[in-house]
Chains A and B, each alone.
Chain A
Amino acid sequence: MFSFYNRGSTLLNFLCTVLPVLLALLACTSPFLLNQADPKVKINVRNVHMKRYSSSSTPSNKKESTMMKLYRYHYPYRYPPKGDIALIDFDINADLTSVFNWNVKELFVYLVYEFETPKQKFNQVVVWDDIITSKQDAHIKGKNVESEYLVTALDNKLRGISGNLTLYWDIIPNTGLLFQKSKGSITVPLQKEQ
């Protein structure tokens, strides 16, 4: 009466019913738990380095040579065009410990510079990012951190532009929906003249 096939089939059926229900319940708790989170974010800009790049320009210090290297990596198949590039040094103190709950697999934390140019009303560039996979590492502290990515514009003109620096984090769940949150916006003007 209870053959091996019967037992196997029942077990598999049970698994295929219970597992999705459990996963769905887990996914449903996420928005509520995330609402209760109270992250604290403090960002402070130390320095904004600007450089007008051209193929003949030579770096005058270590920072400029880093910037030029980053800019060249940005154009893998050709010489980079003439243009303004900027690199931001900043302090960060972000306590995202409370964001972690049982349905958080990873936080992708990124610092975004958002600005407006005459021809492009909406520009966003990530200047720095960090991957956090455990609650213990979720308090990010850094002094005078050098950003990983350059600020660039579509038409390569950045002079006199002012924008906002904001910390965003993308919440990747164990299962369910992905969420994006942000906090701690500050205004950062770029230089007019060099």
Chain B
Amino acid sequence: MLQPLLDNLFSGKSPREIAHQILNIFMIVTSAFMSWKALALITNSESPIVVVLSESMEPAFQRGDLLFLTLPRQEPFIVGDIVVYKIKGQEIPIVHRILKIHKNEEDGEDYILTKGDNNNIDDRALYNKDQLWIKKSDIIGKVKGYLPYIGYVTIVMSDYPKLKYLLLGVLTILMFFEKEEK
């Protein structure tokens, strides 16, 4: 059953060439993964590139804009920094600006309150019930760089999952049928 499929995909190729092509595909996937992880290491942020999903920071950031984050250990947070944070028990990270910050000597913690530029009130209504502050551990990164529009592709993909699978399928097939330059 597998033999006809292989013959079809790799017509007139030796097993060595087939293995080479499959390895090539793995190379692409693993190097993408490796660069992502390397970037995470360099920036010290678990997710160094994020796409803006909400309108709460307009007109600075629109839906689909790409943000580059860093989280250097030595660099303190100050008011006005745009941070990406994730509330415990909630899935979606939020990109908002720091409105208040109190550095407590006793426990060495930062007590941070955030607000979206486009929102009328601060973020306490977004935090967990009875949570008044976010802390350093909630923060994924500080926004350092900005590139407009590019991330809209991922929004479209997550809105229409079928499109994502279609694109992935087409890409995989194209990779298999790639003619090697001789």
Given the complex, which residues of A lie within 8 Å of B144, measured CB to CB? 177-178
The answer, among A75, A122, A133, A175, for a CB contact under 8 Å with B59, is: A133
From B110, which residue of chain A is reached at the shortest CB distance? A122
| Residue count of chain B within 8 Å CB distance of chain A | 32
Mark B residues whose CB is within 8 Å of A: 59-61, 78-82, 97, 99-106, 111, 117, 121-122, 124-125, 129-130, 132, 143-148
From A129, which residue of chain B is reached at the shortest CB distance? B117
- Contact between chains at B80 and A149 (CB < 8 Å): no
Mark A residues whose CB is within 8 Å of B: 23, 73-78, 105-106, 108, 110, 112, 119-126, 129, 131, 133, 149, 152-154, 168, 170, 172-178, 180
- Contact between chains at A120 and B60 (CB < 8 Å): no
Question: Assuming A77-B130, A126-B99, what are 14 further A-B pairs, CB within 8 angstroms?
Answer: A75-B124, A108-B60, A119-B105, A120-B105, A124-B100, A131-B59, A152-B100, A154-B104, A154-B111, A172-B61, A175-B146, A175-B147, A177-B146, A178-B82
Given the complex, which residues of A lie within 8 Å of B117, measured CB to CB? 108, 129, 131
Given the complex, which residues of B lie within 8 Å of A76, measured CB to CB? 121, 124-125
Counting from the closest, the 8 A-B pairs by CB-CB distance are A124-B79, A154-B102, A122-B103, A76-B125, A125-B100, A172-B60, A120-B102, A123-B102
CA distance A131 to B60 in the complex (A): 9
The answer, among A122, A153, A168, for a CB contact under 8 Å with B80, is: A168
- Contact between chains at A112 and B102 (CB < 8 Å): no
Given the complex, which residues of A lie within 8 Å of B121, measured CB to CB? 73, 76
Given the complex, which residues of A lie within 8 Å of B79, measured CB to CB? 110, 112, 124-126, 168
From B101, which residue of chain A is reached at the shortest CB distance? A124
Distance in Å from the Cβ of B55 to the closest Cβ of chain A? 14
Distance in Å from the Cβ of B26 to the closest Cβ of chain A? 25
* Known contacts A78-B130, A149-B99; A119/B80 CB under 8 A: no
Distance in Å from the Cβ of B179 to the closest Cβ of chain A? 14
The answer, among A73, A119, A176, for a CB contact under 8 Å with B145, is: A176
- Contact between chains at A74 and B59 (CB < 8 Å): no
Distance in Å from the Cβ of B30 to the closest Cβ of chain A? 23
CA distance A149 to B99 in the complex (A): 9
CA distance A108 to B146 in the complex (A): 15
From A77, which residue of chain B is reached at the shortest CB distance? B129
- Contact between chains at A119 and B106 (CB < 8 Å): yes
CA distance A77 to B127 in the complex (A): 10
From B122, which residue of chain A is reached at the shortest CB distance? A74
- Contact between chains at B145 and A178 (CB < 8 Å): yes
CA distance A136 to B143 in the complex (A): 27
CA distance A172 to B105 in the complex (A): 33
Given the complex, which residues of B lie within 8 Å of A122, measured CB to CB? 101-103
- Contact between chains at A110 and B130 (CB < 8 Å): no
- Contact between chains at B103 and A120 (CB < 8 Å): yes
- Contact between chains at B148 and A178 (CB < 8 Å): no
CA distance A46 to B117 in the complex (A): 26
Given the complex, which residues of B lie within 8 Å of A75, measured CB to CB? 124, 132
- Contact between chains at B122 and A173 (CB < 8 Å): no
Given the complex, which residues of A lie within 8 Å of B148, measured CB to CB? 174-175
The answer, among A108, A123, A124, A154, for a CB contact under 8 Å with B97, is: A108
